[in-house]
A and B are shown apart, each in its own frame.
Chain A
């Protein structure tokens, strides 16, 4: 395997002195889709915030593209802008659909984004809604706008935090297909947080199980589901885990 894109060592995150995440070691490789699974409240979303550099770790180091960051130093804007997240809720701005999609490019000083916006809107099937106000969209449409808004940035890493929870099967299928395509055609690295093990199975190359803020097991998808190394993974995959 190639050099990892991310490498976390002894990373700990605590809020008000209470540790919610403790990762001894975790690597993310370029071009892969890594799924983080586990019951809710085990620190999956916290981990994504660390990977997006939205918050610094309390302890430990995060290596990203060969540079090592601990909680002390500011991550350079240029590095931070290589990563973006699509959250469970779309969080659209109270503007038009196309303004929402163009937002990230505008932040980067790119004013002439009309063609790119039209292009990504077509890819998520919303070319006709470009002029519409974002708040008039349905839940599925809004999440597709959120995805388009991230896609247009061509990030090195796309973080997906339960992107299809609460969506209907049509929208789930559509979003999964777009994600798979982006990964296949652009070799975009993705970290997917999901509590849906079937989604992890459908999309991911590797899967990691988190329990109580710790990584229990990381394995290629096939191994993870068919020959889990840890009894807790086996229980989780069988659906026996009580949570």
Chain B
């Protein structure tokens, strides 16, 4: 009898240990205490609830921004300056926008212009700003069975792939990259189908790996591809520079009408910070040391103005 209870207690203690060990280690999971911001916030007022827990801004974004490492590079500056934790949920563009529609996120950073405009038109967002762009590239095996090398038109390249029935891996996940791919197919007047067209339903990194394994073509954003080259891939860039491959990122504040839980002020502060010239400079510098070129090109109105360019027309 005694022994029985001993063992029941042992199991219990074991479970508690498992739970408790995580519990004691929890503080490490939160960024170490950052002293209250000495620097006055640039424009917007400081968050009202500084006395309580540090506020958390939920940023829904596409896998490309997180996988490239851009957010990890620039977000600490925002967290420190505004004493805010930013929770990044990296999903496909489709889900990111849905998170906004459902009021599960405060702010969105996505790249699917048509869907973004629809989002704003439906009243799901309160503010949208252009942030930056990167470009898409068509990559494929060095053997280049479809003979794309040297082509400058993405639609022509896609037509060639379809004609030769060369394997092509599609994201197939409603992501921004997938939307772009579908737009190019549509521009080429092709409905891609057949054994050669592989719909993966996975993120960019996984799709690139798959294309590498299967000696297939795919459409990739430059940042993820460059990051993968550091790990080693046989895939080479075959088509780039076509204006249709332009990939603009927008930032959207979710409409605060969706509930009191939406951090509308923080979202606006975040957008102001993201499009400000110093942050845009950070974006432009990201990746230069590692890859020799920028992964994202700053493109906010404030930035364009500072560079003597015309602001966006929208």
Contacts from A to B (Cβ < 8 Å): 95-96, 99, 102-103, 106
In the complex, the chain B residue whose C-beta lies closest to that of A100 is B1
Residues of A within 8 A of B2 (CB): 99
* Chain A interface mostly: helix
Give the CA-CA distance A106 to B5 in the complex, in Å. 12
Chain B 1-44: CB-based contact to A (< 8 A → 1; otherwise 0): 11110000000000000000000000000000000000000000
- Number of B interface residues at 8 Å Cβ cutoff, please give it: 4
Contacts from B to A (Cβ < 8 Å): 1-4
Residues of A within 8 A of B1 (CB): 95, 99, 102-103, 106
Interface centre among B1, B2, B3, by most chain A C-beta atoms within 10 angstroms, is B1
Give the CA-CA distance A99 to B1 in the complex, in Å. 6
In the complex, the chain B residue whose C-beta lies closest to that of A106 is B1
Q: Using A95-B1, A99-B4 as known contacts, list a sample of 9 further A-B pairs with CB atoms less than 8 Å apart, ordered by residue number in A.
A: A95-B3, A95-B4, A96-B3, A99-B1, A99-B2, A99-B3, A102-B1, A103-B1, A106-B1
- Shortest distance in angstroms between B138's beta carbon and chain A's nearest beta carbon? 69
Residues of A within 8 A of B4 (CB): 95, 99
Give the CA-CA distance A96 to B3 in the complex, in Å. 9
Residues of B within 8 A of A103 (CB): 1
- Shortest distance in angstroms between B2's beta carbon and chain A's nearest beta carbon? 7
Give the CA-CA distance A102 to B4 in the complex, in Å. 13
Give the CA-CA distance A102 to B3 in the complex, in Å. 13
Give the CA-CA distance A103 to B1 in the complex, in Å. 7
- Shortest distance in angstroms between B228's beta carbon and chain A's nearest beta carbon? 58
- Shortest distance in angstroms between A117's beta carbon and chain B's nearest beta carbon? 11
- Shortest distance in angstroms between A19's beta carbon and chain B's nearest beta carbon? 40
In the complex, the chain A residue whose C-beta lies closest to that of B2 is A99
Give the CA-CA distance A113 to B151 in the complex, in Å. 92
Instruction: Jot down 11 A-B pairs with beta carbons below 8 A, ordered by A.
Output: A95-B1, A95-B3, A95-B4, A96-B3, A99-B1, A99-B2, A99-B3, A99-B4, A102-B1, A103-B1, A106-B1
- Shortest distance in angstroms between B6's beta carbon and chain A's nearest beta carbon? 12
Residues of A within 8 A of B3 (CB): 95-96, 99
Residues of B within 8 A of A102 (CB): 1
Give the CA-CA distance A144 to B4 in the complex, in Å. 23
Closest 3 CB pairs of A and B: A99-B1, A106-B1, A102-B1
Residues of B within 8 A of A96 (CB): 3
- Shortest distance in angstroms between A132's beta carbon and chain B's nearest beta carbon? 14
In the complex, the chain A residue whose C-beta lies closest to that of B4 is A95
In the complex, the chain B residue whose C-beta lies closest to that of A105 is B1
Give the CA-CA distance A194 to B58 in the complex, in Å. 77
Give the CA-CA distance A211 to B165 in the complex, in Å. 89
- Shortest distance in angstroms between B3's beta carbon and chain A's nearest beta carbon? 7
Residues of B within 8 A of A99 (CB): 1-4
- Shortest distance in angstroms between A95's beta carbon and chain B's nearest beta carbon? 7
- Shortest distance in angstroms between A220's beta carbon and chain B's nearest beta carbon? 42
- Shortest distance in angstroms between A149's beta carbon and chain B's nearest beta carbon? 12
- Shortest distance in angstroms between A139's beta carbon and chain B's nearest beta carbon? 24
Residues of B within 8 A of A106 (CB): 1
Residues of B within 8 A of A95 (CB): 1, 3-4
Give the CA-CA distance A103 to B3 in the complex, in Å. 12
- Shortest distance in angstroms between A94's beta carbon and chain B's nearest beta carbon? 9
